[in-house]
Amino acid sequence: MDFSLNLIAHNVISILSTLTLLGMAFFTFLNGRDKVANTTWALMMLAISIFTISHVIGVNIIDPHLSKIVLMCNLSLFFIAAFNLHSIIAFVGLEQQKKWLIYLTYGVSTFFVLFFILFPDLFLVDSVSKMYFPNYYEPGALNWTRIVFLYGIIVPYCIILLYQKTKNMAVSIEKKRHQYLMLIMILGYAIGFIPNFLIHDIAIDPLWGMSFSSVFSIFFAYGAIRYGLFDIKVIAKQALLYSSIVILVGIVIILFNYSNQWIITAFPDFPIWISPFISSLAVVTLGFIVWQHSRQGDILKYEFITTVTHKFRTPLTHIKWASENLSTDRLSPDDRMQVEYIQNANSKLVELTNLLVNVSEAENNIYDYKMEKGNISELVKYVTDSLASQSISKHINVVKRIEPGIQTKHDDHRIRFVVQTFVENALNYTHSGGTLTVVVKKEGSMVTCSVTDTGMGITKEELPLLFSKFYRGQSAKLADTEGMGIGLFMSKEVIHRHGGKIWAESPGPDKGSTFAFSLPITQ
């Protein structure tokens, strides 16, 4: 292979590694942002990507001193070690017992990074040309500390933790998950160690080592699909597949662009438009394939939800007719109350069925809103009064501060759903004897409707996520196991379609919360 093509191949593999690492970090974090193991594993991969980026830039710089400055970013290796240890400790469920060790590791990593920033020549001296690289690492007197810290202490300890965890486990998917993580750690770090040989003038091509993340990603993707590694969900697996295709095509394009100049030099008569044409064709083809597959998924999802909900409506209609017939008979007060409970429950099931359809329709912009001028004060009062039986049964005091006669242009059914969601959530998450306050008031050209409770409250970490689809906080799951996490999401969609704003506030856990929305007033 030609000298320059060796460097091109090295650069392409390094860029592929960086893109792969960033993709894996994104998907790991996205599927477990509330899990320490996922977050720290994603941070570890982000730190590794900093290493690969600085590596590929530094070894291509001609100036030895500037090359050394860029390669000093390899100090990220100390944080790779810290994040890896934290992730494995959380993964095996020992975070509380090993908290002191986590703090110690972060402290030692920070110390080394700051020390070598102050005394950089002890970590690296000016780079020198090695093999086919314009410049490559030249180690300082204390460069060995990174190898001892990462490969001599942290990695073996992590593998021992995983081994000890699996040793007494019965054969199960959980055991295989731990064993598989141990395997990919051993393989990943073994391959990733290869670039260190040339640092110490052992002529082994670093190209093989820079392919570690590509190899690692293959095993990681297999583990995510086969064993649910780091709880990567089905939808993310599909997205990971698409992203892998995007990265692959991106690398092909990079390779074309790298080789284009060499081709022009070697073959002056070669048409210069061919490489850009092939790159553009690859991008357009990829975009069409991904769009086609994602569109098919949306259509199948919509058709499935529509079919299922239509099947639900028939038995719900029969329940409604039967309960209406019962209500016309002479019944005792207790029996009549039970029939009313059946009717209310049936109405909620009908609304939920319609809601499932509307979630899909809203995402596909299918649902047509029927905007008409109406009295929102009366609407809020009506919805609140319709839920009086729930507040009475839970001994919750409901206070209404509704300014009368406020007019807005809205879809009556949709806004009623939003108010009902707010009030029902407040009733569900407020303890017996609490207070619920419903307020409707003018604020300039807007009307604000709010529901305040004295219930369990919300943490500051959960507040930004409340209106996400299918999101439910941990305390909410414990208090109301029947929730689906779509009511607030749909409420947000409804209010945004009305040109309004929606938000939530809470001083903290056990301090209550306020859910509110505002709409433009119509004169």
Measuring CA to CA, which residue among 55, 405, 326 is closest to residue 196? 55
Q: How far apart are CA 453 and CA 60, in angstroms?
A: 62
Measuring CA to CA, which residue among 136, 273, 156 is closest to residue 209? 136
The alpha-carbon radius of gyration of the chain (Å, integer) is 30
More confident residue, 169 or 58: 58
Q: What is the pLDDT of residue 26?
A: 77
Q: How far apart are CA 204 and CA 523, in angstroms?
A: 79
Q: How far is CA 253 from CA 54, 249, 504, in A?
A: 21, 6, 46
Q: How far apart are CA 271 and CA 305, in angstroms?
A: 53
Model confidence band, residue 324 (pLDDT cutoffs 50, 70, 90): confident
Whether residue 196 contacts residue 181, with contact meaning beta carbons closer than 8 Å, is answered with no
Q: Which residues pair with 136 in a beta bridge?
A: 128
Q: What is the pLDDT of residue 226?
A: 53
Mean pLDDT of 411-436: 89
Where do runs of H (alpha helix) occur along 329-447?
A: 333-363, 376-386, 388-393, 412-428
What are the contacts of 339-345 at 24+ separation with CB within 8 A? 340/389, 344/389
Q: Answer whether residue 52 shows pLDDT above 60.
A: yes
Q: Answer whether residue 69 shows pLDDT above 60.
A: yes
Q: How far apart are CA 306 and CA 302, in angstroms?
A: 6
CA trace torsion 64, 150, 26, 23 (10° rounding): 60
Query: From edge to edge, which strands make up the β-sheet containing 501-505?
Result: 397-402, 435-443, 446-453, 513-520, 501-505
Buried-exposed string 130-156: b where 16+ CB fall within 10 A, e elsewhere: bbbbbbbbbbbeebebbeebbbeebbe
Residue 229 has φ and ψ, to the nearest 5°, of -60, 130
Q: Answer whether residue 234 shows pLDDT above 50.
A: no
Model confidence band, residue 283 (pLDDT cutoffs 50, 70, 90): low
**Structure tokens belonging to residue 76:** 């990220």
Q: What is the pLDDT of residue 185?
A: 85
More confident residue, 70 or 224: 70
Residue 156 host element (H or E): helix 155-167
Question: What's the chain's average pLDDT?
Answer: 79
Most confident of 169-173, 396-400, 410-414, 485-489: 396-400
Q: How far apart are CA 167 and CA 196, in angstroms?
A: 33
Q: Answer whether residue 365 shows pLDDT above 50.
A: no
Q: Answer whether residue 286 shows pLDDT above 60.
A: no
Whether residue 360 contacts residue 307, with contact meaning beta carbons closer than 8 Å, is answered with no
For 226-240, the three-class secondary structure string (H helix, E strand, C coil) is HHCHHHCCHHHHHHH
Model confidence band, residue 374 (pLDDT cutoffs 50, 70, 90): very high
Q: Answer whether residue 480 shows pLDDT above 70.
A: no
Domains plus CATH for the chain? 3-233 (1.20.1070.10), 297-363 (1.10.287), 372-520 (3.30.565.10)
Q: What is the pLDDT of residue 274?
A: 60
Mean pLDDT of 168-182: 75
Whether residue 486 contacts residue 355, with contact meaning beta carbons closer than 8 Å, is answered with yes
Q: How far apart are CA 133 and CA 141, in angstroms?
A: 22
Least confident of 292-296, 316-320, 349-353, 426-430: 292-296
More confident residue, 253 or 493: 493
Residue 504 host element (H or E): strand 501-505
Contacts of 58 by beta carbon, 8 Å cutoff, 6+ apart: 67, 68, 70, 71, 73, 127, 135, 137
Q: What is the pLDDT of residue 89?
A: 92
More confident residue, 327 or 502: 502
| CA 359 to chain CA centroid, nearest Å | 20
Mean pLDDT of 400-429: 90
Q: Please tell me the pTM assigned to this model.
A: 0.51
